[in-house]
A = this chain, B = another copy of it.
């Protein structure tokens, strides 16, 4: 049985051979730069795995896996402009290394290039694949807009936050799976159940991201923790804390999150202490488990042998149990 690493290596090998020979170079250099930054490639791997799950050849799903990874990278290029993020995968983000105009335009081009890969689907299945791809692209944009809007909205609820990460993050995992499944020959019902699996595991994945950013073990995590706290990001942890905190803690949290002028280390420690007292780490882990269990239920409904599903289940487990 192939492991995650096998799919990863296969995809990475193909991606590294991609060389858009287009002109002008100002447009194509940032695209190649972005695509060749080291990434986890979870989405394209899911597409390849989903295709194989139903007896398809991974080669057949490769153009769609490429399309999805390219779309994902396009969103990263544009998100970094909006979030004013100087780094991406440890390297300079495109708008920093070049400039915002180049980032806008090379992002747009990458989006269009992604559709050139979508287009390679068999004529019979193209309308369905295109339908999922378009719907997902729109939802990801909606998710990003909610994320931006929530920055200045002090009444965001846990439910709204969850719906935001569903759009911004989870639907692309789902679409990766569903498109792969359809190319592999899945029935629409199976593809749909796999989609639900992706939604739940995608939400779990993002909640785990939130948890690690605050409570990760820095030695294992490999990054400084507390970034979300410093940038006043209204994650699940913060919103859940507001929901259950007493007046004093709530007031303190709101105060910490309404300015960036606190001493950094002190702010991180104080907020973490409030979180700890409210057992937010435990509550977040429970929420992750709840989504994980829902994803398992959706996967159970898919009509292929348990043995074949094992790999996907292993990835799902890894996505929520990882420590980095």
A residues with a Cβ closer than 8 A to B are 22-24, 26-27, 78, 81-82, 100-102, 104-105, 107-109, 111-113, 115-116, 119, 123-124, 126-127, 130-131, 133-135, 137-138, 141-142, 144-146, 148-149
Chain B residue nearest to A145 in the complex (CB) = B27
Contact of A78 among B22, B104, B134 (CB under 8 A): B104
Q: Which residues of B contact A105 (CB under 8 A)?
A: 78, 82, 141, 144-145, 148
Q: Known contacts A100-B100, A102-B148, A126-B126; can you find 9 more A-B pairs with CB under 8 A?
A: A24-B142, A26-B149, A81-B100, A82-B100, A82-B104, A104-B104, A112-B138, A115-B134, A123-B123
Do residues A104 and B130 form an inter-chain contact, with CB atoms below 8 A?
no
Q: Which residues of B contact A107 (CB under 8 A)?
A: 108
Q: Which residues of B contact A126 (CB under 8 A)?
A: 123, 126-127, 130
Q: Which residues of B contact A141 (CB under 8 A)?
A: 27, 105, 108-109, 112
- As for how many copies of this chain the complex holds, the number is 2
Chain B residue nearest to A109 in the complex (CB) = B141
Q: Which residues of B contact A134 (CB under 8 A)?
A: 112, 115-116, 119
| 15 CB-based A-B contacts, threshold 8 Å | A23-B142, A24-B146, A27-B142, A81-B101, A82-B104, A82-B105, A102-B145, A111-B111, A111-B112, A115-B115, A115-B137, A116-B135, A119-B130, A123-B126, A123-B127
Contact of A137 among B112, B135, B142, B146 (CB under 8 A): B112
Do residues B127 and A119 form an inter-chain contact, with CB atoms below 8 A?
yes
Chain B residue nearest to A22 in the complex (CB) = B142
In angstroms, Cα B23 to Cα A108, docked, is 22
Chain B residue nearest to A111 in the complex (CB) = B111
What's the least CB distance linking A99 to chain B, in Å? 9
In angstroms, Cα B195 to Cα A7, docked, is 42
In angstroms, Cα B101 to Cα A198, docked, is 28
What's the least CB distance linking A224 to chain B, in Å? 26
What's the least CB distance linking A84 to chain B, in Å? 10
Q: Which residues of B contact A26 (CB under 8 A)?
A: 145, 148-149
